[in-house]
Amino acid sequence: MSPLNHPPGTADIAGLKARALNLRRLMMEMAAGKGEGYIAQGLGIADCLAALYFHEMRYDAANPAWQDRDRFVLSTGHYSIAMYAALAEAGYFPKEKLPDYGLNGSRLPMSTFDDTPGVEMVGGSLGHGLGQAVGMAMALRLDKRPSRVFCEFSDGELQEGSTWEAAMGAATFRCDNLVALIDCNGIQADGPVTVAIEPVAAKMAAFGWDTVEINGNDIAALVAALEGARKPDGRPKCIVLRTVPGFGVPTIMARDRAHFVRIAHDEWDALREELEAANG
Ligand SMILES: Cc1ncc(C[n+]2csc(CCOP(=O)(O)OP(=O)(O)O)c2C)c(N)n1
Ligand SMILES: [Mg+2]
């Protein structure tokens, strides 16, 4: 079992930064192998996943079905590249499996499937993660389990009514074992977010959520916000993450269109060097 859920103030920030860099390395390897992928989102959310999997969450990688585990619900199934890197780094399956990402018949499909060890939800159709997470949080409470549910969803999904129905439900049903992590990366598919969604944090607070807004690429801020979200005070918790697509690889950060990145096979090595230089 992971020795996680550290007492407040005991985070190894340097160690978590090293984990985040490892996750980025693994993702770059996966994307380079295929020559394409949702690498920009993966690089953007890497710090959050490092803080979750290597500081905040309780789980047993050797026993993915352990009933008292915390649940991580990835609502944006297309961010699978990031989740697979985190799961491999956490020991759910060998890193040698990662090159299977996106191949026909692979257990690491480009959009998540719950057949993969450690994956809680079938992804792909957006707007359903928060609703499922609320249901999980309520069920876990009814079963008197200590587990918490962490649900990532995106700024694009804030344009779907189902997300707001679930947000109302979580507050109504006092799901204080639920933490929403909203990845506000500023993009959705073809460009910037189109329908006005701001102010996200004020809206979630108005819906009854205990809400903070942070730089989602700042490990220390992530750890502090996650520790702050442990309060069993009857309110669901929300952390609005401002992330940068492609974070850590300047050429990808600079792209106008970063939703789905396709890069010639002979250019990936230079990008991987950028990642090392940026973190050197
Ligand atoms: C219900 C649904 N509608 C449309 C799509 C097609 N789609 C795939 S990714 C995406 C963009 C959604 O916004 P966001 O999650 O913020 O995207 P990103 O930040 O990854 O660009 C869309 C519209 C989908 N997968 N599901
Ligand atoms: Mg987005």
What CATH number did the domain enclosing 247 receive? 3.40.50.970
The pLDDT of residue 256 is above 90: no
Task: Report if residue 4 sits inside a domain.
Answer: no
pLDDT tens per residue across span 17-39: 999 999 999 999 999 998 999 99
- Which residue shows structure tokens 């490892």? 22
Q: Is the CB of 227 under 6 A from ligand 1?
A: no
pLDDT tens per residue across span 123-159: 999 999 999 999 999 999 999 999 999 999 999 999 9
Give the mean model confidence (pLDDT) for residues 255-259: 89
Task: Report if residue 227 sits inside a domain.
Answer: yes
Q: Is the CB of 40 under 6 A from ligand 1?
A: no
And the tokens for 88? 């491999």
The pLDDT of residue 278 is above 70: yes
User: How many structural domains compose the chain?
Assistant: 1
Domain limits for position 269: 13-278
Q: Which atom of ligand 1 is nearest to the CA of 38?
A: 20
Task: Report if residue 7 sits inside a domain.
Answer: no
What rounded mean pLDDT belongs to the chain? Answer: 95
Q: Of the bound ligands, which one is closest to the alpha carbon of residue 41?
A: 1
Task: Report if residue 221 sits inside a domain.
Answer: yes
Ligand 1, from 128, 188, 190: best to mutate by most atoms within 8 Å of Cβ?
A: 188
Q: Which residues contact 213 (CB under 8 A, 6 or more apart)?
A: 200, 201, 239, 240, 242
pLDDT tens per residue across span 184-238: 999 998 789 889 999 999 999 999 999 999 999 999 999 999 999 999 999 999 9
pLDDT tens per residue across span 57-77: 999 999 999 999 999 999 999
State the Cα–Cα distance between residues 258 and 256, nearest whole angstrom.
Answer: 6
Q: Of the bound ligands, which one is closest to the alpha carbon of residue 160?
A: 1
Task: Report if residue 6 sits inside a domain.
Answer: no
